[in-house]
Amino acid sequence: MIRILPTIAMVLIMVVNAACGDDGSAAISSRNSGEPLHVVTTVSPVTNIAENVGGTKVKITGVVPEGANAHTFEPAPSLAKTLAQADLLVINGLFLEEPTLRLALASMRPGTPVLSLGDRTVSRDEWQFDFSFPEEDGHPNPHLWPDPIHSLRYAELIKDELSRLDPSNSSYFSGNYDKFKQRIDQLDAAIKLAVASVPEKNRLLLTYHDSWAYFAKRYGLTVVGAVQPADFTEPSARDVATLILQVRELGVPAIFGSEVFPSAIMEQIARETGALFVDKLRDDDLPGVPGGPLHSYLGLMITNLRYMVPALGGDISAMSGVDAGPVFEGDSDVEYPQ
């Protein structure tokens, strides 16, 4: 049985829904003519998708540092000033950034629109629940972006909202979206080929964090489990024993840790099962440094697949033709906090 959501969560949902329905005119009326929209975003994949769509016509400030746990990240009170200057707040939603959202709703100017991408990308019937996000807690897995088609929907929503707030640049935003769609189509096709090269019995994922539910569903992999429980602590001895048994029984060839969050527990599971331990996957921490060739949403997916597919016995060569760079020309005004 699904537990009733906490009151604070319900209040946030109501406020966000109301903000999304606002036309934003009150929030942007104080902007000087000719100034670009100031878009505040949360996690880096969302920031980069917004950057690809907005290009040189918007100012973007990401507020969740790369490498931080977005579920538990508590923004500093000083962030209120940045949020008060926002013309648009773009979040992943699905309960991912609740501490940040609470500060935002208390700090932003009245009428500032909030674009909650995940809540407008999947319906409740499409919510995924798993080890880290059990159904009884009522919060679905919010990691939609590893599924490129969901990320394309994110880009579409951002394009539509930017065009509504800044209609003079709507054709520019639409052009960038079209180019981003071409890249996503290439990425999607490359992932299908790469996963198809993995022996069917090896298409199993055991990861540090449950970030791959929607990815696995699209590309025909099975998520065996995750080491990090719902409360983001270390797993119990019983949980570890269960995972070890699963890995042995299923013949899982490799288990995947996080480059950002080392896990001695995963090393133990690998030792006791003989599975290969790859501690290089990233959930929302873009590879390299801002401005680098792979520091993008596309680079994140390419890098993860380059580690994942060979470890499972597949061929990654199909990924070599996917361009991870920005789809627009010129220099953008974007901040990725480190």
Query: Residue 8 has what pLDDT?
Result: 41
Q: Mean pLDDT across the chain, nearest whole number?
A: 90
pLDDT, tens digit (0-9, with 9 covering 90-100), for 148-193: 999 999 999 999 999 999 999 999 999 999 999 999 999 999 999 9
pLDDT, tens digit (0-9, with 9 covering 90-100), for 279-338: 999 999 999 999 999 999 999 999 999 999 999 999 999 999 999 999 999 999 999 999
Residue 6 pLDDT > 50, yes or no?
Answer: no
Residue 1 pLDDT > 70, yes or no?
Answer: no
- When pLDDT is cut at 50, 70 and 90, the band that residue 67 belongs to is confident
* Burial class of residue 1 in the structure, from the number of CB atoms within 10 Å of its CB (0-12 exposed, 13-18 middle, 19+ buried): exposed
Burial 120-155 (b: 16+ CB within 10 A, else e): ebbeeeebbbbbbbeeeebbbbbbbbbbbebbbbbb
Q: Look up tokens 């979206």; give the residue.
A: 177
Q: Quick one: DSSP state of residue 224?
A: E
Q: H or E element: which one contains 239?
A: helix 237-250
Q: What structural domains and CATH numbers belong to the chain?
A: 7-186+326-335 (3.40.50.1980), 199-321 (3.40.50.1980)
Q: Is 254 left (phi over 0), alpha (psi -120 to 50) or beta?
A: beta
CB 71 within 8 A of CB 210: no
AA identity, residue 98 = E
Q: Is 287 left (phi over 0), alpha (psi -120 to 50) or beta?
A: beta
Q: Is 312 left (phi over 0), alpha (psi -120 to 50) or beta?
A: alpha
pLDDT, tens digit (0-9, with 9 covering 90-100), for 208-259: 889 999 999 999 999 998 888 767 777 888 989 999 999 999 999 999 998 7
Structure tokens at 25: 């005119």
pLDDT, tens digit (0-9, with 9 covering 90-100), for 281-294: 999 999 999 999 99
Residue 269 pLDDT > 50, yes or no?
Answer: yes
Cα 43 to Cα 93: distance, rounded to the nearest angstrom: 11
pTM of the full predicted structure?
0.91
